[in-house]
Amino acid sequence: MKDVVVQRGSLIESAHRVHAAVVNEKGEIIAKVGDPHRVVFCRSAAKPFQAVPLVEEHILDEFGINPNELAVICASHSGEPKHIEAVRSILDKIGLCEKDLECGPHPPFRESAAIELYTNRKEIGPIYNNCSGKHAGMLALALSKDWETEGYINRDHPVQVRMLSEISRWTSLRESEIKLGVDGCGVVCFGLPLERLAKAFCALGNDDSSNHRIVSAMTNYPDMVAGTGRFGTALIERLGDRIFAKTGAEGVFAVGSTEGDFGMVVKIEDGAKRATPIIVLQILDHLKLLGDEDKEKLEMFSSPVIRNTLGQIVGEISSNIELVAE
């Protein structure tokens, strides 16, 4: 039996297998789906931890980077005007410009933003990359430390060395235990067990030091963390008094409690992001974090339907997962 199925008419057309880990504040697995120890790349779910040096070493204050901008540093943004404005503001504050971003370009995730650029024949530069906020933050770190900004994405650059150190610290893994790869935006990405990433999200929510500024920025500015109509933003908008959350590419989604009592990570084995919202919400419901009104407001994500080009409902996506106590 597959964990998430896509049904059209009477036929199961597609299916996705799920792995998930839920841990408590001690790092103990309290619930799981599939293999909670499966090694996966965190992808963009690592971004909140990559922002930690900016907080702990007072770099945000050094450059006057505000909470709205900290949120976009943690974001996989949609390239909407508000996102681009925030990244440009960070670059202005640190005295750099778009050409210093080494993330490469792609069209905005938000269709209306992409159409506007094409209609006005504007160049799509690296600032429209969904990771441009993170890259602006990395440039701020390099400048504050008097490191070369050119090549900051390279594995041996001090910025990326520091990123690995942070992931090691928050996951309680030795650096040698973390698998390394190259992310879609060119920086180093980190492969580690699901339950260790869940532990990191729990720990960040439980951190009452200055690092709680990261959680506060994400929950106070959910529209900056993802974008209009996206699950990550909708989830935090609805549950931001209880959780913070971050998506990652290839079907990764992580959630931490703002009270620090749990962390969870979901990985869709085949990387299909359409399967993540329904699983995340099912687990949150299991944890008794969803009231009736929450379920109603998030129904488009928990009970997604398939529509054709005529707007007719022709199928649905549903979950068969069994959440097992460890």
User: What pLDDT is stored for residue 140 in this prediction?
Assistant: 99
Q: What is the pLDDT of residue 2?
A: 73
pLDDT on residue 323: 84
User: Residue 86 and residue 254: Cα distance in Å, rounded?
Assistant: 24
Domain 3-64+154-325 grouped into CATH 3.40.710: yes
At 188 the pLDDT is 98
Supply the pLDDT for residue 1. Answer: 54
Residues of the chain with pLDDT under 50: none
Chain segment 86-137, per-residue pLDDT in tens: 999 999 999 999 999 999 999 999 999 999 999 988 899 999 999 999 999 9
Q: Are 285 and 275 in contact (CB under 8 A)?
A: no
What are the domain boundaries of the chain? 3-64+154-325
- pLDDT for the residue numbered 322: 84
